[in-house]
Chain A
């Protein structure tokens, strides 16, 4: 298995532009998580899906952020319009419950810089 695949690896954009981050989870995993990592706040859970259905989006910072999972093999995180404070590394992770625990497998992350 190729693992969790994220794209793009790096994105530099200007304030006000729309940003779309993509994720392909591991086949057979029924959970998908989006995390944001910054120096100040560490790893923050933004939203997660179970069987393609959004379960908890309470971590999404504001309405400018949206996430979708149209099928079991693809998810997007969109920021519109982007702001400099959105600059961070965004991780996608997927999991299947293993012995009662969600063991996350992370993608390589997408580093977003908003100028």
Chain B
């Protein structure tokens, strides 16, 4: 069975600092995608970044980047120059190509402090 584990239930950092959220996953498949979703207090789930497993280059989206370590099955999210608007719950998710489902981790609640 596929699993996604986020070991940090909650984190707090000061505004403008860099923060890294951890995610590990388990699958025996070789062809998959990984995602980070953000859920701010408004409750809306928003896609932050996507990584294709066959691509070695780490995905980046503005201040958001990932560290994808395929052998270690690790997929961490780095937020640079954090802003108050980054305060949210962050979910790591796994999608297996050939499957239709996306499996989510339990989430990390991130607080950006002024």
Chain A interface residues (CB < 8 Å from chain B):
31, 33, 35, 42-43, 45, 48, 50, 55-56, 89, 91, 93, 99-106, 108-109, 111
Bound together, the chains give a CA A80 to CA B105 distance in angstroms of: 29
- Specify which of A102, A106, A108 is in contact with B100 (CB 8 Å cutoff): A102
Contact A31 B45 (CB under 8 A): no
Nearest chain A CB to B92 CB, angstrom units? 11
1/0 per position for B84-114, CB-CB distance to A under 8 A?
0000000100010100111111110000000
Q: Is B47 among interface residues, defined by CB-CB distance under 8 A?
A: yes
Q: Is the interface of A mostly helix, strand, loop or mixed?
A: strand
Bound together, the chains give a CA A35 to CA B45 distance in angstroms of: 12
Contact A101 B50 (CB under 8 A): yes
Contact B104 A42 (CB under 8 A): yes
Chain B interface residues (CB < 8 Å from chain A):
33, 35, 37, 42-47, 50, 52, 91, 95, 97, 100-107
Contact B101 A106 (CB under 8 A): no
Contact B107 A106 (CB under 8 A): no
Which residues of B lie under 8 Å from residue A56 when comparing CB positions?
Answer: 100-101
Contact A102 B44 (CB under 8 A): no
Contact B47 A108 (CB under 8 A): no
Bound together, the chains give a CA A103 to CA B91 distance in angstroms of: 14
Bound together, the chains give a CA A105 to CA B37 distance in angstroms of: 10
- Output the nearest chain B residue to A109 by Cβ-Cβ distance: B43
Contact B43 A108 (CB under 8 A): yes
Contact B45 A102 (CB under 8 A): no
Contact A42 B107 (CB under 8 A): yes
- Specify which of A55, A89, A101, A103 is in contact with B43 (CB 8 Å cutoff): A89
